[in-house]
Each structure stands twice: as structure tokens, then as C-alpha cells.
Structure 1
Amino acid sequence: MPDLKSTLNLLTTPFPMKGDLPRREPALVERWARLRIYERMRAAAAGRPPFILHDGPPYANGDIHIGHAVNKVLKDMVFKSRFFDGFDSQWIPGWDCHGMPIEHRIEQMNGRGLPTEQVQQLCREYALSQTQSQKKDFLRLGLLGDWDNAFRTMDFETEANEIRFLDRIRQRGLLFRGQKPVNWCVDCQSALAEAELEYANKRSTTAYVGQRVVDAADLAARFSLAIAPGRQARVVIWTTTPWTLPGNAAVGLDPQASYGLYDSPDGMLVMAAETGGKLLQSFGVEHELCAVAPGADLVGLVLKHPLRDVDVPVVAADFVSLETGTGLVHLAPAHGAEDFELCRGLGIAGDNVIDGAGRFVASLPAIGGMSLEEGSKAILETLKADGSLLRQERIEHSYPHCWRHKTPILFRSTTQWFIAMDHPATGDARTLRETAREAIRDVPFYPASGRSRMEAMIDGRPDWCVSRQRAWGVPLAFFVRRSDNSLHPETSRLIEEVARRVEREGISAWTRLSPADLGVDESEFEKLSDTLDVWFDSGSIHATVYRDPRRPDAHGHPADLYLEGSDQHRGWFGSSLMTGCAADGHAPFKAVLTHGFAVDGNGKKMSKSLGNTVSPQQVAGTRGAEIIRLWIASTDYSTDISVSEEILDRVVEMYRRIRNTIRFLLLNVSDFDAGADRVPVEYLESVDRHALARCRELAEQCRKGYRDYDFVAVTRLVHGYCADELGGFYLDVLKDRLYAGARDSRDRRSAQTALHVILENLLLLVAPILSFTAEEAWGVLHESSAGDDSVFLYTWDEAVPPVTDDPEAAEFWRHARQLRPSVMKAIEDVRSSGSIGRSGEASVVIEAPAEIVGSLSFLRAELASIFIVADVTLKEADKVDVKVRRTASLRCMRCWRHDASVHDDTDAEQGMLCDRCRTVLAGFPELSGA
């Protein structure tokens, strides 16, 4: 008996079943860098339509976390997919380098009090070391991009460009200096942007305080009552910040609401009629409602300051709520944005009661110099002693905290620089708020809910405080006249002089600059020491980085996409929109994509203290970065993204299915020369043409998914294609031809032609997501792993199968594919009874209506291989029915098919063979005796 196994096409491939990703991936990272793949992609894409992805820069401090991985991998998938889709795709990564976190870190390491220039140098060195460390971790994730030209907001050229860019906004009339309440962190000793706040629960003392009415008779008259001489009256206010009471300048009420005058043992009390009675009852105060008057009638009433011998007015305030408190609020214009705007419009001034360190100002009697906590207690004791404090309570409420120090912030009035939201720009009738609204009108948002969040940010944003009181930041390089705070008349010239110095020396050039160096009279003009908000740094990179003509990728038009986390509507998205609209009158982006936060398997925020963090470095080192990439692609990024070991286990199973499919394809084309062995499309076997048509459908669907940034759809399509279309059908059907057909036969080469095209398509389609695996497999397919070829140098158009099913074939395959599950089930039922052992032993009769039988007759000869049975008979009937019996045909000893051509009197030396195998063996002279 000959060794028939040796005549089968049992091939090998260097592409292993086990990925061993942690070991293989670093070599591919090095290969991409060595071959300068990004530069070669750009060269290959020369002349194509551009697609520009701007990078919202991560902060250069600390190791990257899983949230960074989500963000950067999404960007990488966008960049790569747009390249494959025929664009000149561009992505320059970068880092945000200035700001308090790094300066605070330097203070921790070296102590406070260092000279400003030394602080700046230490901060620069620290930030550089952090970017180098983060870059290594980012590259480990398989990211491509222009990393050799990555930007840092601390680059001298970028710092200089930012100084110039701010002056452009000034020239448009949108930059002003003013004293306004701002978010103030006593630990940072600086103003904070809205995006630098995070909200957390805080326990606070609230107080109900009665402010004495100067003229009780006037009050009674407003309620159409008379009052006994000497009778006292108080207006009861409610505050959650008793420490601001020394700054009281007025009391606000709702002019549309009704207010009650209540008689009590301690005098008359005024409170909102809707809530006053209930509150007094809860205080245990005996009371009687004497009269009700509209709030508008009480405007102009004069009260005594709660702590000082000065008078304050009652004013109309449309922001007063009746849902909490008494319907009357004390107004401290130095310590509240709404208070400030209202009082400014009424000509009412207010002074700070708290200094930058969080202590009461020295000029305040009794409490000057006290801490916030000490002074607040003293204030309440004073009010209690004179009978003004009706009640105090402890409540827990959401309150803004500094995102760096996790401490509650204060609202205090300081002299700062602002970008105006509601002032028309020079040469433009629109305000910045109006311009921003118009700018996003036609911008697509992914997901669509991002639009409403951006609109809410625009509508609710106050004037943007862009100045900070720190050392490590881009300076507001202005000289201000000491007498009236006006800018130097030659500001534009001076700005350019400073910018040129900063280009050579960095921001320290401003630190060491003497006004006299630029011909400025120091006795007349003050050199500012303020620095710019870091959100202005990152928000202006569309101009300071991407429009810099010295950079290789400079361009002057909006980016095609901005992509960041969902918290960035008031962060980088917002600051970028505002700077773009302020300087250029339009948004710096054409589309916006937001993703959720990475959370644990239970949907909880990750925290080292909870022990529920997942480190990208650890996952890459144990499972492979490819698993991180597939997890991100297969998860709906529009909401928070859950990750845990169990979730990653499921991702690994998905990866194995895709990898094993790729391996099967590589294995079965390993003896195929695409140049010499390819079968022209018109001569392909019908099932192979159908397979290519299905592959074309996959390619079109995946391309749509990528264009819509729907990576979940792409992974679902690819995984389903590997598991069902290939594993569950086509590859199953092909095995006999691949393994048992003559090596160079046209039907086998037809199958290999289809497999080769399918494999190329599959690798190109998964490359944006499974970059390591696609590159590894591409090198095996094209024997280029040691050369300089790469999957990232091709496009989808170069591999799309030019095949679709013709109408008759399409109908045949529609009916055959619909029937296949029914046939498989019928076979399994018979097999379970013991009548047959394998589907190949089955003889199948399909009864069906004439239309179906006619359609299936188009390729009747294909049916046995499609169903992997011995033979198929078609019969017309009223309804579909499948009958299975054991075939009478004998089994071929070589291919194991049951075929009518196998006879038991076959040459005993070769055994029982089918005609096909007998022909194949004729090509083996050593077996045929030739």
C-alpha cells in the first residue's frame, strides 16, 4: 500500500498559531522605526487628498495610563484607516508641557523660593524626560505618526508663536484686563480655568442671617401696613459661604416672586412667601404671616450690612432660586461671578475679603489674617451674639475643587487678563460666543450627543481668564502703563521683538529681559509677570504648531478631525474652538469625535487606592499591545469603556479566531506564486468567485465602518467573516480541493487565487486595528519580513476583488446558503442516530418549489461540495424538505470522499481511489510504478 498521505498537499507556514505577542511586538516597533514607515507612507500618499488629525496633547507628567492608551490607539486607527482609504493621512503627536503640575513637582523636589529662571529650566528638563518616557510607551502600542517631529508646547518656536498668536487676538479687540471673580486655588496661588476644576462632595456650613432693615416703616409701607415705632425688621438671607459675608454689598431677590412679611417675637421678618412659613416652623420660631408683596415692590429697600456699619440695597436678581434658601441672597461681588456682573451693572463695588493664600485680608477688623476656617467661625459667633443668626446647618453638596490638589477652590476677585465672550471683535459684528455657535453649526459630532455638550459649553462659558500667576508658562509679554493700566502704544512691535528672543532662548528670555533692553521706560511701564493658561497653550496648537511654516507638515486649514475624551468639551475642544474663532473667525476642526473614560469591569472609575487599575504597560507585557488595540476597537467608545481581566480574556478569544483564520490562509497559499499561479477571474471556480464577491462586500462594509469611525462594526464584521463566512463555510468547502487536488491543477490554483486575494484584503482591513498581526502576516505572505515591504504602504483600492456575483449565480448562492443550515441539521440528526458517521457519507435529497430547484440547478454540480456530502438530488415539491440517507458510494482511501467512481476492484496496490485521486497519483511516478 503506497504512502497516500505523502501525496496530499500538507503545507507549512512560519506564521505560528500562538501569537507570542509580548515577545514579537517590540521587534516590529523597531522595524517600523528603522524603515521609517510613517515617512514612506507620506511619500506614497503624495498627491492624494489630505486628511489631517490634530493631536490633543497629553500632559508631560507621569506614566501613561489606560485612558491614554484608549485615546492614542483610537487616533492611530483613524490615521491608518484614512491612509488605507486613499488619503494623505497626517498625524503629528505632541505634548502639553507648561503649567502647575510640573511646577509643583519641581517645588516638591527642590523646595520653594528658587529663582524663576531656575524653576523654568528645571521644569523644562523634567518635562523633556517625561515626554521621552511616554513616547516609548506610546510606540509600544503600535502607534505610527510623525514622532520624530513631535511637538512640545515648550518648544522655543511654539512658545514664540503663542506670544504672537495672543497678540492677534488682542488686535481683534477681544483681550482685556479687568478685575473679576475667578476660580482661585490657594495651593496653586493662581487662577484656574473651568477645565481645571473637578467637582466633589464638600461639607459646608450654611447660615440663615437676618439683615436689619434701616427704615422699618418704609418696609411696612411696601406691604401696605403700618408698624409700631421702634419695631425692628430683618430681611433673612441664606448663604452657603458665610466667609463671604464681610464682602456683602447688596441683597438680591426675585422680582417676579411673592415675599411674605412675618411677625415674630424678635421682630418682623421678610422671606419668600412660598417657603418662609415652612422654614420658620423648622427653625422653631413662632410666626404669623402679616402680608404678601411682589418682590419688585421691595427693590430699593435699604439694609444694614450684617457685620459693619454701612448700608446695602435690595436689588432685583433674576438668578435667585426659590428651590433652596429664603428667596433672598446676599451679594458679594468680589466672590461670585453672577454677583459681580449684577453689581457692576448697578454701579455697586465690592472688595476682596480673602487674599491669595486663603486668609482674611489684614484690613478686616477682628478677623484680619485669620484662616478661612477660623474667620468663618468668628463671623458666625458675631452674628449669633447680636441675634442676626437665625440658624446654621451643615450640608454636603457638590463643589468645585482644584484638579491638581483636590482642594476646594475659592471665588475671589483679582486683576487678570480675559478673552471676551460677548464683545464684538474688531471688524466683525459678531461676539466670540456668536462666532463659536455658528462655527460648529455644520460640524459633525461622533457621537451626535457631543454637539449639545459643546453648545452648552459655549452658552455657559464666562469670559475666559487666560492669565496665571506662575513661573512655568508662556508669558503675557506686555508692558502696561503704571498710571492707567493701558498697554504700551507700540505693543505689536514689542511683541515681535520678544517673540524673536523667545525663539532663540525660550520663555526665560522674557524672565531675564529688562524693559530698557527694548527701549521701554520702566518708570512709566510695568513688565507683566503673568503667564498664560495651559489650556491656551494646547488650544492654540492649530496655529502655533500646525501653521508654523518651519514644520514639514505645516498647513493653513482646519483639521479634518479632533479626537479626545468626553471631558474635553470644556477642555481642549472648547479652548481650541475659542482660540480659532477669536483669531480666525472659524473653528480649527471639521469634525469632532469624543470617547468615554476607561472604567473597571463594574463600571467604576479606576483608582490605585481601590486596586482596580489596568496598566497598559502590564497588559502589553503579558498579553500584547494587540489585545489592547482589539479591546479598544471592539468596545463602544461613545460611552465609558470597561476593562478587566475577564473582558480581556474574551478579547483574546476573539483575537485567536482571527489569527487562526489568517494562519489557515497563509498555510494554504504557502506554495502559491501570485505572479505565476494566479487564475484569471473569468476562469475561477464558481464558489471561488462567490467567495471573492463576499470578500468585496466585507471590504465595502468595513470601509464604511472606518469612515464612520465605527470600529465596533469593523471588528464585528471581521470576526463574523472569519468565524462564519470563512470558518463556517468557504474554508470548509475548500479543504478537499486544497489538500487532495493536484498541486498545480486549475481548480486548486483557483482556490488559492481566491485565498490570496482574501488574505491580502483581510490583512489590509484589519491593519488599522491589528497592526502587529497584519504586519507579521504580510511579511510571511510576501516573504518580506527581512526586507523593507510593509502592509502600511498599500491601500484598500489596490486589493479589492473586482468580482460580484452575476444575477443567476447570486440567486443560486442565495438559495444554497439559505438551505445549508437545514441540510447540516438533517445530516446531524441522521448522524446522531448512528446511520452515518460523517457528512461525507450522506446522500441528500432536497425537495423544494420549482423556483428554488431551478435556481439550484444553475450550479447543480457544486451542491455536493457546498454541503460536503457524497451527492445531492433535487426534486420539485410544494415546500422545502431535506432527506438524508447513507450513500451507496465507496470512500476513496486518499481523499476520504464517497464518490461513485470508487470501486472495490480498484488496483490493490494503490487501494480504492476515486477518479480524481487516481489522476493525481499519476503525477507521482514513484507510486504509479512508471
Structure 2
Amino acid sequence: MPSYTPLPARVELAAVDHEVLAFWREHDIFARTVSQTAGGPEWVFYEGPPTANGRPGTHHVEARVFKDVFPRFKTMKGFHVTRQAGWDCHGLPVEIAVEKELGLSGKKDIEKVGIEAFNARCRESVQRYIGDFEELTERVGYWVDMSHPYWTMTPEFIDSVWWALKQINDKGLLVQDHRVAPYCPRCGTGLSDHEVAQGYETVTDPSVYVRLPITGELDGLTGVELLVWTTTPWTLVANTAVAVHPDVSYAVARTRRGTFVVAEPLLATVLGEDAEVLATMPGRRLEGVRYRRPFDLVDIPGAHFVITADYVTTEDGTGLVHQAPAFGADDLAACRRHNLPVVNPIGPDGHFHADIGLVGGKFFKEADPTLVADLERRGLLFRSTNYEHQYPHCWRCHTPLMYYAQLSWYIRTTARRTELQRENERTNWYPDHIKHGRFGDWLSNNVDWALSRSRYWGTPLPMWQCSAGHLTCVGSRAELGQLADKDLSGLDPHRPYIDDVTFPCPTCGDPASRVSEVIDAWFDSGSMPFASLGYPYVEGSVEAFEK
């Protein structure tokens, strides 16, 4: 007599699935596999949380299958593998979904509705589809403890995130700085570099070579023009300088179309083999040479001369780089070294200011054809072609991103690059090419984490500032209550309620108010190893985490 139920010749696989699931459920098999290995060695598994603000899709099935295989395998090997489910609750994915539900378009509409009402809908949106995710999770046979999940929006989780940010701040690694960073004009907020990596799309942009006439003589020659190349003609409105490499040789060469300055290694490529070289000189000799700017649409005082910058290359273009410091990190650094102004003719919504001639009110990417046509009309367009390339877009709303000068909060990850690379060397990667490939390259080219988001539904940045500029980083609601001299144990630490909490500045006594930003939701997700326990404030969390 067999000890199992024989399968018929024709198997209804879906029916067998349901029978197995029912058996697991009836006999509490998952919990028993965890309890029977309680004395075995620990194998740590973290459930990276999905955002449940919509119905689950096939990508969730794939991820959950991968997550299930390894804990099962380790359990079968005798390891004790606890698996806590979790839900990612904050961030742009939730906000954009709610905007669509409410028929809103951007931050102005949200603020008309009110932050309190909008965030209430965000909370409801996250909770709405949990049942669907739980059903999918059970149906695909993914074993994870859904009876005690963590939620990244709970006050206890946020307390833990604030604790981590205070540790980072106390080490001098949380800073506010005016930098050029990726920015979505539709969402009205900056993005971190790992978010940008998710949103590249193939586009066709104009590739233009622009003539910038030198004012006066160059090496005894008159009528000489600088030749610059750009695929972002819209940035020419804010042109402030032209950068050359100090050690590259530059040629002054005559063609039938005029006399131009280009990097000597690019001479034939740009001007052709028959260009007549009249003079050559190192880039440092061009420093200070003044030129006539491409557009006279905004006031940029004390600008429009050649500067030197080591980042200039001769791999493409002309070897002369047009500088718009409001729209490029390298441009900003180079122009700062030469005490040049930073002028930004584009508002946070991505449109040129309405009072600007020619392109006033236009979305930045839509201004290109108008600007290129005007350059051609005035005889400043040397060459123009269409250029197909990868351009960064917002990974959620698919709006083209700007690299935009703005005041933001950063975690100085570059200050810990060596430690991060050391830990990567100690990590056993599968497949192994990731270690020094995709992940290793990312660490080598790591930039500081753009942490803050000028949004609404997220973990509030726990920074309070007084009128004198003194900053106080708060590590928990309990600490905030002590500073404010009131019981805040029942406070919902989301906007707008957290924005109403003020306290006397510990440094000077003036009223301190919270800065308006929330943080990148990826910081929430990355905090789950300790924040899912409520570390270090929830009783038993320290012992559980350090175990």
C-alpha cells in the first residue's frame, strides 16, 4: 500500500496546486519548517518590500520566486531562516498614482487639495491592494511571514530611520549643498543617481556646432571664432564661459567658412583635411579670451571668456566646451573656480521664465528648434544634425530630466567609498562578474546620495532650522518631544503634522522649524534590516538585530 496518493494519468496541475496549498495551510507547514530548525545556524534573509499601491504584476511573481528558492534551500540544509514580509509605503510611485486618481497634475494641484488630504489618499492607496498581494504570495507558494509585516510608514519604522539619519549627521556625512543634480520638472524634485539609472530612454536631439566670435584679436589674427559643440541647445541661453583643457594643443585654422579655434587632435574631424592651420597654442594661452555669447536673452554680468578645466577631453566635439553652470556639475565647479555667476533662466517646472525673449514660457526640451533656427538665422550655426542617444527620464513619470542647480541634502557616500569597496571585495557575488562589473563600476563612480525630495508622502527629513541658520537633527519622536516640551508619542510623523512641531533652537533659543523636504524612499527600503525591528527603541530590537 503506497504511503502517498497516486497521481492519475491526466493531471490537472492547477487543481494539484490548490491541494498542495491547502495542505500547507491546514498543517501550518511553513511555520513548522521555521520552528523545527530553531536550533540550527542562522541564515539571514531580508524581504525587500514591494510597493502595494497597485495590483501585483508578473514582475512580482518573478521576484517572489527568486526570493523563495534560497530560503527554502537553506532551510532544507538545516539553517534557521526567518522571513518577515514588508510593505514599502512612501515615495513618488504612490504620489503619482494618487495624482492620477484625483485628476491632479503636479505640485500646485496637490497643494490646492492640501497636503493632509493628499497624504491621507496616499496612505489609503498603499493599503488598498495588500489583500491582492497576500493572495498572490500564497498562490505562487512564496513562504514569508505575512502575519507580522513591517510597514515603512509606521511611526516606529520612521523613528528608526530618523535614528540612522542622526548617526549619519553626527559623523558629518549629512550636508546641505547647492549642487547640480538630476531633477524632474514634472514631479518637482531631485533624483538620486541610482534612480536616474532606471530611466534612460532613446531620443533624437539636435547636435549643433555653434560659432562664438572672439572680440578682438587672437595671436594677431582678427575674425577668429570659437567653435563649440552641444546636444542641449536650450542650455546656450545660460552660456557663461567656454572651457578648454590647459594642456591640449589648440589650432587656429582657416576654411572657406571662416577661421576657427578647435582642439588640434579634432581638427580634421571637425573642419576637414584641407583646413589651413594659422597658429597653434596650448589651452592655457586661450584663458581670458573674450567672445560674443550665442544669445543675449538674460543678464549674465562679468562673464563670456575662456576658462581652463581639466575635465575637457578631445574624444568628441571640438575640445571647447560651452559652460552653463546652472545645468552641469562640471560646469558649476569650473565656473565657481573662476568666480563666475550662476544664472538660471528656467523655473522649477522646467519652463523658461515668461519674461525671457524668444523662448519665454517654453518647456526646456521644446525650446531647441526655436533656438537652433535663431542661431542659423544669425549665421552662428556652423553645423546641425540629428543625434540619437540615451537621455535620462524620470523613472516614474517619463519626463525628461534636467541637470539643475538646486539646494538639496546629500549623504556624503563619496567619503566612504574606500570602505564600500572593501566590503564589496568581501562579498561573494552570484554571478561573480557583478562584483567588479556593474556593482563595482557603480561604487568606483559613486557620487554623493541626493537624499532630499521636495515632495509630500515620505519620511520627513528630521532637520529643524532657526532663523540664524542653526541646524538640529532629531533622532526620534521621543527626542523631538523633549525638545518641544510636549508628549509626541501619538504623533503621526508625516506631513503636515510634523511640520507644525517647533522648538527653541538649542544653540540660540530662537524658534526652529522643520525643513520642508522628505527623503528618498530608497533610504526607507535600505533601512529595513534594523528599522523593521524598530531598532534601537522598541524593546528587544537591539538584541534581535545584534544576534
Range into which the TM-score falls when normalised by the shorter chain: 0.7 to 0.9
1:437 maps to what in 2? 421
2:544 maps to what in 1? 555
Following TM superposition, by how much is the alpha carbon of 1:196 offset from its aligned partner in structure 2, in angstroms? 2.4
Aligned AA for 2:431? P
Cα distance per residue 1:414-451 (max 9 Å; x no partner): 111111133xxxxxxxx211221122221111111110
For 2:376 and 2:73, the matched residues in 1 are separated by 69
8 Å contact 1:164–1:495 — kept in the other structure? no
8 Å contact 1:547–1:556 — kept in the other structure? no
8 Å contact 2:502–2:512 — kept in the other structure? no
1:671 maps to what in 2? none
- Pairing of 1:151-166 with structure 2 (within 5 A): 151-166=150-165
1:497 to 477, 480, 484: 480
2:413 maps to what in 1? 421
Matching of residue 543 in structure 1 with residue 530 in structure 2? yes
Cα distance per residue 1:885-922 (max 9 Å; x no partner): xxxxxxxxxxxxxxxxxxxxxxxxxxxxxxxxxxxxxx
Aligned AA for 1:455? G
Structure having the higher strand fraction is: 2
Aligned AA for 1:545? S
Following TM superposition, by how much is the alpha carbon of 1:201 offset from its aligned partner in structure 2, in angstroms? 0.9
Following TM superposition, by how much is the alpha carbon of 1:337 offset from its aligned partner in structure 2, in angstroms? 2.1
- Pairing of 1:204-223 with structure 2 (within 5 A): 204-216=205-217, 219-220=218-219
- Aligned CA distance change for structure 1 residues 502 and 464 (closer, same or farther; 3 Å): farther
1:534 to 517, 521, 537: 521
- Aligned CA distance change for structure 1 residues 483 and 387 (closer, same or farther; 3 Å): farther
Matching of residue 200 in structure 1 with residue 189 in structure 2? no
Aligned AA for 1:237? V
2:293 to 305, 313, 328: 305
**Mean CA deviation greater in 333-342 or 19-28:** 19-28
8 Å contact 1:179–1:415 — kept in the other structure? yes
Matching of residue 191 in structure 1 with residue 175 in structure 2? no
For 1:181 and 1:109, the matched residues in 2 are separated by 33
| Unaligned ranges ≥5, structure 1 | 1-9, 221-225, 423-430, 559-930
The number of residue pairs the alignment matches comes to: 525
For 2:478 and 2:452, the matched residues in 1 are separated by 17
1:132 maps to what in 2? 131
Aligned AA for 2:449? W
- Pairing of 1:149-548 with structure 2 (within 5 A): 149-197=148-196, 198-216=199-217, 219-220=218-219, 226-227=220-221, 231-264=222-255, 267-281=258-272, 287-308=275-296, 310=301, 311-362=303-354, 364-373=356-365, 375-422=367-414, 431-452=415-436, 453-484=438-469, 486-488=470-472, 491=474, 496-497=479-480, 504-508=490-494, 510-513=495-498, 515=500, 517-519=502-504, 525-546=512-533, 548=535
8 Å contact 2:503–2:511 — kept in the other structure? no
Aligned AA for 1:292? T
8 Å contact 1:300–1:314 — kept in the other structure? yes
Following TM superposition, by how much is the alpha carbon of 1:483 offset from its aligned partner in structure 2, in angstroms? 4.6
| SS state at 2:516 partner | coil
For 2:354 and 2:133, the matched residues in 1 are separated by 46
For 1:363 and 1:11, the matched residues in 2 are separated by 86
8 Å contact 2:90–2:521 — kept in the other structure? yes
- Aligned CA distance change for structure 1 residues 71 and 514 (closer, same or farther; 3 Å): closer
Cα distance per residue 1:214-268 (max 9 Å; x no partner): 342xx31xxxxx33xxx32221110110111122222122334322101246653
Following TM superposition, by how much is the alpha carbon of 1:312 offset from its aligned partner in structure 2, in angstroms? 2.5
- Aligned CA distance change for structure 1 residues 545 and 482 (closer, same or farther; 3 Å): same
1:811 maps to what in 2? none
- Pairing of 1:37-48 with structure 2 (within 5 A): 37-48=29-40
Following TM superposition, by how much is the alpha carbon of 1:270 offset from its aligned partner in structure 2, in angstroms? 0.3
8 Å contact 1:494–1:518 — kept in the other structure? no
8 Å contact 1:186–1:356 — kept in the other structure? yes
For 2:450 and 2:481, the matched residues in 1 are separated by 23
For 2:49 and 2:499, the matched residues in 1 are separated by 33
- Pairing of 1:399-798 with structure 2 (within 5 A): 399-422=391-414, 431-452=415-436, 453-484=438-469, 486-488=470-472, 491=474, 496-497=479-480, 504-508=490-494, 510-513=495-498, 515=500, 517-519=502-504, 525-546=512-533, 548=535, 550=538, 555-557=544-546
Aligned AA for 1:205? P
For 2:478 and 2:239, the matched residues in 1 are separated by 41
Following TM superposition, by how much is the alpha carbon of 1:476 offset from its aligned partner in structure 2, in angstroms? 0.7
Aligned AA for 1:203? T
8 Å contact 1:180–1:414 — kept in the other structure? yes
- Aligned CA distance change for structure 1 residues 355 and 72 (closer, same or farther; 3 Å): same
Following TM superposition, by how much is the alpha carbon of 1:133 offset from its aligned partner in structure 2, in angstroms? 1.1
| Unaligned ranges ≥5, structure 2 | none
- Aligned CA distance change for structure 1 residues 503 and 526 (closer, same or farther; 3 Å): closer
Cα distance per residue 1:531-561 (max 9 Å; x no partner): 1111111112122114636488873359xxx
Following TM superposition, by how much is the alpha carbon of 1:505 offset from its aligned partner in structure 2, in angstroms? 4.2
- Aligned CA distance change for structure 1 residues 522 and 27 (closer, same or farther; 3 Å): farther
> Could you tell me the percent identity over the aligned residues?
27
8 Å contact 2:206–2:386 — kept in the other structure? yes
Following TM superposition, by how much is the alpha carbon of 1:200 offset from its aligned partner in structure 2, in angstroms? 1.5
- Aligned CA distance change for structure 1 residues 95 and 13 (closer, same or farther; 3 Å): closer
Following TM superposition, by how much is the alpha carbon of 1:397 offset from its aligned partner in structure 2, in angstroms? 0.9
- Aligned CA distance change for structure 1 residues 400 and 363 (closer, same or farther; 3 Å): same
8 Å contact 1:236–1:271 — kept in the other structure? yes
Aligned AA for 2:450? C
For 1:171 and 1:66, the matched residues in 2 are separated by 43
1:23 to 2, 15, 29: 15
For 2:336 and 2:488, the matched residues in 1 are separated by 39
Cα distance per residue 1:113-151 (max 9 Å; x no partner): 321111111111111122321121011111112221122
8 Å contact 1:420–1:464 — kept in the other structure? yes
Cα distance per residue 1:142-181 (max 9 Å; x no partner): 1112221122212231122212221221111101111111
| SS state at 1:395 partner | strand
1:78 to 67, 70, 91: 70
Higher relative contact order at CA 8 Å, sep ≥6: structure 1 or structure 2? 2
Structure having the higher helix fraction is: 1
For 2:285 and 2:503, the matched residues in 1 are separated by 60
Cα distance per residue 1:636-685 (max 9 Å; x no partner): xxxxxxxxxxxxxxxxxxxxxxxxxxxxxxxxxxxxxxxxxxxxxxxxxx
- Aligned CA distance change for structure 1 residues 31 and 343 (closer, same or farther; 3 Å): farther
For 2:396 and 2:125, the matched residues in 1 are separated by 18
For 2:445 and 2:489, the matched residues in 1 are separated by 37
| SS state at 2:307 partner | strand
- Aligned CA distance change for structure 1 residues 41 and 551 (closer, same or farther; 3 Å): farther
**Mean CA deviation greater in 434-443 or 339-348:** 339-348
For 1:443 and 1:404, the matched residues in 2 are separated by 31
Cα distance per residue 1:692-750 (max 9 Å; x no partner): xxxxxxxxxxxxxxxxxxxxxxxxxxxxxxxxxxxxxxxxxxxxxxxxxxxxxxxxxxx
**Mean CA deviation greater in 111-120 or 10-19:** 10-19
- Aligned CA distance change for structure 1 residues 491 and 74 (closer, same or farther; 3 Å): closer
8 Å contact 1:93–1:150 — kept in the other structure? yes
For 2:341 and 2:477, the matched residues in 1 are separated by 35
Structure showing greater Rg: 1
| Backbone CA RMSD of aligned residues | 3.0
1:141 maps to what in 2? 140
For 2:216 and 2:511, the matched residues in 1 are separated by 49
| SS state at 1:340 partner | helix
8 Å contact 2:162–2:475 — kept in the other structure? no
